[in-house]
Amino acid sequence: MKILKFGGTSLGSIENLNKVKNILKSDYDQKIVVCSAMSGVTDQLVSLSENIKLKKTKEIALQLYNLKEKHVGVIDNLIEDEDKRKKMRSVLSQIINEILDLSAMEYSEILHSKIITRGEALLTHIFSDYLNLVGVPNELLSAEDFMWVDNIENPNLEKVSKKLNSILRKKTNIPLYITQGFICRNKEGDIDNLRRGGSDYSATIIGAALGADEIQIWTDIDGVHNNDPRYVEDTFSIPSLSYNEASELAYFGAKILHPQTVFPVIDKNIPIVLKNTFNTEALGTIISNKSIARGIKAISAKDKITAVKIKSSRDLMTCDFLKRIFEVFNKYQTSIDMVATSEKSISLTIEDTDDLIKIQKEIEVYAEVIIEPHNSIICIVGESIITDKKSHKLFDALNHISIKMISFGGSDNNISILVETKDKTSALKALHKNLFLIQQEVMI
């Protein structure tokens, strides 16, 4: 059994849907295909949910109309037979009417999740029917029936496995299943979601629950690149990464992977292969428990980072001071990325600032707090990077950049540097030149 995940860009047009169809036809292994919503649809649904919250009825009606027309256009361009078009439009109308009914309800977080996960339902109904019509037999599975993860951070794989295997045992000799990514149920059984980009995570949860042979994640890029190609020229894809290396890159901003993607499969040793829907011949990147080479492999960056500098204004012992600080952040479930300490002060970084004002007020009772927004964490990743002889070059490369914080040694696989976001692109380019390009020129 293989698990294949296709993202919104891969499914974002008639041409692309046909590319995915051809990929599926060329692979004869039994597989489950996990689909995102069409490109842009989840953003539309998030906006719709916000308008439901604000009770903007005119905007809601217009957005539902646009959503329906977008998918009707897909049906009309995919399907030639008018009777089959009518049948597919009927299913589409049912889902749109479900969203309409939801829009009349009182806003809640559960309602929000129900709204924003409808994009995957719209796409998978259309795509499954289309595949059956063009000779790619498949069956549609509803992720709501088996993706009972209980806890998003630590999914209940045993529960997902039990429910999914129970469904699959009732369906025999089916080579291909289509299902939705992103959507799940929480421990109360309510509809929830795996956060933005969560279809990758859906694929690895399903793969781990079934003990799949391989998980393929199809995107619009040739695997994980050694730097961010949106900001840096001459990047290249990395043939292989260890689970740890991939985790670090994803957590610190590599857009090709959801940050939690690799966690479900690490203990089960299931390889994840990143492939390009638009360049199927490219080797892509294999993520596994094997580390092919040591040393610096890649660079990623995470934006919207806020630095918090805290200086004790009382005669507190260092251990008590740190304990009280971390207790406050834990109270508000605010994760900390980087930390630097001295006897009476601590500097740290956070991404989630929703409760920052409350945190600041609590800490200011016994300490001075300075908030510095608009920062980026640049993460340099590689197996045993701490002992790599080239690691010192990154500091030479950044001698023109104001570095605000360094995390060196917290993990054997990464060095993290905090810079102002305005300096991020310059830093990425300088690191790329000094760590990769100059080395290649010397080898040539």
Looking at this protein, which amino acid is placed at residue 389?
Answer: K
Residue given tokens 């956060």 in the structure block:
195
Task: Say if residue 355 is exposed, middle or buried (CB neighbours under 10 Å; 0-12, 13-18, 19+).
Answer: middle
Residue 19 marked as a ligand binder: no
Nearest CA to 49 out of 110, 5, 1, 94 is that of 110
Residue 120 marked as a ligand binder: yes
Distance (Å, whole) CA 195 – CA 181:
11
Residue 7 marked as a ligand binder: yes
Number of C-beta neighbours around residue 254 at 10 A:
23
Residue 219 marked as a ligand binder: yes
Distance (Å, whole) CA 316 – CA 327:
15
Q: What is the enclosing helix (H) or strand (E) of 307?
A: strand 298-312
Distances (CA, A) of 382 to 237, 244, 379, 416: 14, 9, 10, 12
Strand order in the sheet with 285-288: 139-140, 176-180, 31-35, 2-6, 214-219, 272-276, 285-288, 240-242
Residue 179 marked as a ligand binder: no
Residue 416, classed as helix, strand or coil, is strand
Looking at this protein, which amino acid is placed at residue 441?
Answer: E
> Token pair for residue 367?
């300490």
Residue 5 marked as a ligand binder: yes
Number of C-beta neighbours around residue 279 at 10 A:
11
Residue 169 marked as a ligand binder: no
The whole-angstrom distance between residue 283's C-alpha and the CA centroid of its chain comes to 22
DSSP state letters, 310-361:
EEE-S---HHHHHHHHHHHHHHTT--EEEEEE-SSEEEEEES--TTHHHHHH
Looking at this protein, which amino acid is placed at residue 325?
Answer: I
Residue 326 marked as a ligand binder: no
Distance (Å, whole) CA 172 – CA 217:
25
Distance (Å, whole) CA 109 – CA 100:
17
Residue 127 marked as a ligand binder: no
- Summarize the annotated binding site as residue ranges: 5-8, 42, 120, 219-220, 230
- Summarize the annotated binding site for ATP as residue ranges: 5-8, 219-220, 230
- Summarize the annotated binding site for substrate as residue ranges: 42, 120
